[in-house]
Amino acid sequence: MNRSATPKPQAAKAKVLVIYAHPESSTSIANHVMLKKIASLEHVTVHDLYARYPDFFIDVNAEHELLLAHDVIVFHHPMYLYSCPALMKEWLDRVLGKGFAYGNESALQGKYWRSVITTGGKEEAFGEHGYNKYPLEQILQPFELTAALCRMHWIEPLVLYWARNVSDMERYQHAEHYRQWLNDPLPYDLSLPQGGEHGSGK
């Protein structure tokens, strides 16, 4: 007697929150291409901070709810003076507060942090022999430390160097790589129990 195979339950897909911050987003070709490429992903929420909070008055409770509803948190922004734009820094200071993200409570424990960066400098400009003196991974260490403080897993940053000057094809390929990662950002099924609090995610 033929028996049809019981279909396996579909693996739970990670819910991704892309926190995007660019004060002059309309002028950024690279970021426009990247955002357009990921717009159709149903499990991805793009949260444009400058569109949502033009007055810089952040609704902390609403932001907490957004964070709690997602598994992977992406911080997508251009590199501004070796850091992020001002509104994202304000967001980090206000939203990732003691008593929620760290301290007596670790509401984000076990979630994943990835920084997605565009920068005007070439890759060789970041390093001991470049004019920026340090590799970008080292410059981004304050973000990695913040993730660790919140007991989040740190995923190696995704970087587009020389963003204003690369070819259209390179921008497209980078955006496609971004989309492919977002489509399957984690290497395992979220419905299964995971061991341990910390992880490099690399």
Domain locations in the chain as residue ranges? 16-183
Cα distance between residue 190 and residue 174, in whole Å: 26
Mean pLDDT for 178-186 is: 96
The 3-state secondary structure of the chain reads: CCCCCCCCCCCCCCCEEEEECCCCHHHCHHHHHHHHHHCCCCCEEEEEHHHHCCCCCCCHHHHHHHHHCCCEEEEEEECECCECCHHHHHHHHHHCCECCCECCCCCCCCCEEEEEEECCCCHHHCCCCCCCCCCHHHHCHHHHHHHHHCCCEEEEEEEECCCCCCCHHHHHHHHHHHHHHHHCCCCCCCCCCCCCCCCCCC
Mean pLDDT for 165-188 is: 94
Instruction: Please give the pLDDT value at position 9.
Output: 58
- Asked if residue 143 lies in contact with residue 75, where contact means CB atoms within 8 angstroms, the answer is yes
Instruction: Please give the pLDDT value at position 138.
Output: 97
CA-closest candidate to residue 74, choices 151, 161, 178, 188:
178
Tens digit of pLDDT for each residue in 165-175? 999 999 999 99
Tens digit of pLDDT for each residue in 136-165? 999 999 999 999 999 999 999 999 999 999
Confidence band for 12, pLDDT divided at 50, 70 and 90 = confident
Provide the CATH number for the domain formed by 16-183 in this structure: 3.40.50.360
Residue 199 has pLDDT above 50, yes or no: no
